[in-house]
Amino acid sequence: AINKVIIGPQKRSRVVTETDKRITAYHEAGHAILARLLPNCDPVHEVSIIPRGQAAGYTMTRPDNDDNHLTKAKLLDDIVMTLGGRVAEIIEFGESSCGCSDDLRKALRILDFIITESGKFGYEYLQCNTVRGGVTSEEQCQKVVAKRVEILNETHEKVKNIILEHKGVFDKIVSALETKHLLSREELLKMVA
């Protein structure tokens, strides 16, 4: 029931090609391994390559508690995990699919919050978010864009290094997803100790 509400109903009539399954398995394995290995990510509850709603697959994370205080480390780890699917596709296939665009939008929303609203990178970036009605100069906006690019490039390298460092475990997750299509939290914990 939770999956149906959060992600959408399972697509039963959709024929999924083997190529799509493979790309989705790599993508979701990228999210899953990072969520499992990064110290500040919410725990993974389920990983699937079964299409639901608009998603070709999903990695569902949920907090174990109701802590409302977000730290810079937590938010940055969330960005790393969010970009895991995209980077995993680039490592395996040399490029990412267009399906990564939603992950990029999510990462940018978190990043813009950290930079322009929370003050985590200093006061000079505050109120640079014109989306929320802040009045900004071109110079301020250029500083924000430069900070975004810097963090995204660092994040990309971090994701790549983590996946390559744990390539054996990563490949096991991909293989399990291609075979079973769905992994529970317990199954993932056994693979990524």
**28 an active-site residue?**
yes
Element (H, E) at 59: strand 58-61
Element (H, E) at 182: strand 182-184
Tell me how crowded residue 143 is: count the other CB atoms within 10 A of its CB.
18
> Which of 28, 46, 89, 92 is an active site residue?
28
Structure-block tokens of residue 33: 């391994």
| Phi and psi at residue 182, to the nearest 5° | -150, 130
How far is Cα 56 from Cα 11, in angstroms, rounded to an integer? 9
How far is Cα 98 from Cα 163, in angstroms, rounded to an integer? 21
Residues with active-site annotation: 28
